[in-house]
Amino acid sequence: MSRDTATVPEVGSSLVMSDGSLKVVTREMVDALSSGSRLLTVNLGQDRNEVLLVSPDESLAADMAVTQALEAFSGLSSVEDAAILAFFESAAARLRDDAIWRDICEANAVDVERAQAKGRAVGRLQVNDDARRKMIDGLVEWRELGVFRNTVIETVQRDGFTVDLVRAPLGVVGFVFEGRPNVVVDACGVLLTGNSVVFRIGSDAIGTARRILSRVIDPALEEAGLPPGTVSLIDHTSHGAGWSLFGDDRLALAVARGSGEAVAMLGAIARQIGVPVSLHGRGGAWMFVGEDVDQTAIASTVARSLDRKVCNTLNTLCVPKTKLAEALNALRRAAEDVARRYPEGLIVHAGPDTMPLVQSLDEAACIELVPLGDADLGTEWEWDECPEITIEVIDSLSYGYALLNAHSPRFVASLLSDDADEHERFFNAVDCPFVGDGHTRWVDGQFALGKPELGLSNWENGRLLGRSGILAGDSVFTIRMRYRTG
């Protein structure tokens, strides 16, 4: 990343990018630079470069938060493990307090109303009793897991000496979250390994995040005796604040939750300055119907995978031609089940080759069949009150696996089959970190591992080094080595 605030270029002049391409300087850039903003030039790969403007306020907000978190990280080294565990206990107790929860819900109602006025979906933004329970459960689970910092994970005995491999704190972890208020609590998991955290949350959820911080997190930190800034919010809702955070080389890890170009941009900014990243990217699960699975199993599994829209929700259903009639009947049954929760029913997208084969779905009152372009097979459907999936009719399962590897975000894959050999072929063929034999919603840190997750990573940008696609608080660490004589 390059920064240039010393010289203000003229309108119409060119900025030379790292790949030799030119970007024309606009009036907006000149005016912004004259007022103290700075330019970030970002290499997105594949000959794509962008020039971003970051205002002084955005830079200052991120810099102050990281500075405070760095001081807190240093201070945590002298804090007893019991104090960290006390923080989780105190935070959980505050969320159980009905008066505090009503206060959080009031802030959330304002956020929801504002988001609805902008035409935004609010399914993930709204807090309710279930969200409250999950946040409390997560804090309790962290408390029960115990602190993982400075624990010996392996001892190697040599002739006359030993070497301990010690799990040690990593540093300041930076998060950029979408508009889901519960992630404020999720982020606290990094404290278990002795880290501090800075996060920026989307503008839709900023009021709720502020209230959770002021009523739950900050008082719990103070009560437990942890340093101020151990958990901190960049109280700036612009994209520039997130860019500035991920462009700070003092971060030990940058985590972005969400999908699309915004996450790709954040990842590129961090990578350019050498900060390790954990990115989600696109979501949406793929499911394959095997030759020996019955209609009831297909219907129940599809319906369970469509209970709400999150990243691990079923997105694409691949059906061999030999199972088409049975699968279509199952899809009708699943749509009836889904319609009990979502009265608008199910939207099913089908490409030009598949559409003639599934045309009979139009007869179902709770299914809307929509044409899909050839290039849209990898589209992740973003829905709130009307579930959407793609159906793809395939000549063989092996051909379907190839489609997944070519068009999907390489995230979640499920095969419905009783054939053990086919499951082995499936596991070896699909290029995904999460592979299963039933519903797709199991891909969640708390559900699968009993640990609140800090983020999920797909393989859209390649496989991960030395860790799974679930990032949890106890996995944010480095390994130190201690030599002992004797």
Shared domain check, 9 and 76: no
Shared domain check, 213 and 103: yes
182-215 confidence digits (pLDDT tens) = 888 888 989 999 999 999 988 889 999 999 999 9
Domain tally for the chain? 3
Shared domain check, 376 and 264: no
What average pLDDT does this structure show over 42-50?
73
What average pLDDT does this structure show over 163-182?
90
Among 91-105, 161-175, 339-353, 452-466, the minimum mean pLDDT is found in: 452-466
Shared domain check, 291 and 271: no
Specify the CATH number for the domain of residue 435.
Answer: 3.40.309.10
Q: What share of the chain is helix, strand, coil (3-state, %, to 5)?
A: 45, 25, 35
Task: Count CB atoms within 10 A of the CB of residue 396.
Answer: 11
- Residue 214: per-residue pLDDT: 96
Would 447 be classed as within a structural domain?
no
Range of the domain at 105: 58-282+469-485
Short-list 232, 241, 234, 256, CA closest to 175: 256
Please give the model's pTM, rounded to 2 decimal places: 0.82
First to last CA, the chain: 48
Q: At what angle do helices 129-145 and 81-96 cross, to 10 degrees?
A: 160
Shared domain check, 433 and 296: yes
297-312 confidence digits (pLDDT tens) = 999 999 999 999 989 9
Reduce the DSSP state of residue 228 to 3 states and report it. Answer: coil
Shared domain check, 191 and 109: yes
What average pLDDT does this structure show over 318-345?
95
